[in-house]
Amino acid sequence: MKLGMVVFAADLNLLKNFYAKIFDLQLEHVDDEYARLTAGSLELVILQIADHYLQKNEPDLAEPEHQQAPAQPNKPGTNKPKTNKPGTNKPRTNKPRTMTPLKPVFFGSRPLHEYRQIIKEQQGAFNDADTEWSFEGNTVCDGWDPEGNVFQIRSPG
């Protein structure tokens, strides 16, 4: 069985680069609406949030000075909502979105201290070493991407 995840993004390019760099994912496709990254049996799709949805339902992802006029109706014959061009939405402040009911787990090949540095360089955050714990032979720690989506990394050891 193959596993897939979808992450909704205010800034498609930012999250595409983050997940590709941190988890060594290969870019299979990218356009103005989504990016598809893969590694082994994992497929991660990062989907650009539509302007009207971002402003209406996720106000914490949009900066007040970046608010736009309400979305205009789509052209006749199209059902696709207008999306921002990649990189035009600023991500929210780097706070974890802790009320999300799912947490993706990535099984890392490096020590957690190496991930901590790379995640910081890519504008994400990773909990301090004193919050790490052991689970089934792995060292485990939580972090979040630049838009606050929480994930977990488990590394051998």
Calculate the average pLDDT of the chain. 82
In a domain, 91, yes or no: no
- Supply the DSSP symbol for 87: T
How many angstroms separate the CA atoms of 138 and 113, rounded? 14
* Domain membership flag for residue 90: no
Higher pLDDT, 77 or 133: 133
Q: C-alpha angle with apex 88: 87 to 89, nearest 5 degrees?
A: 95
Dump pLDDT digits (tens) for 55-85.
665 555 544 333 344 444 444 444 444 444 5
User: Which helix (H) or strand (E) is 43 found in, with range?
Assistant: strand 42-48
Number of domains in the chain: 1
Residue 88 lies in a domain: no
For the full predicted model, state whether its pTM sits above 0.85. Answer: no
Instruction: Give 85-123 pLDDT, tens digit per residue.
Output: 544 455 555 788 888 888 999 999 999 999 999 999 999
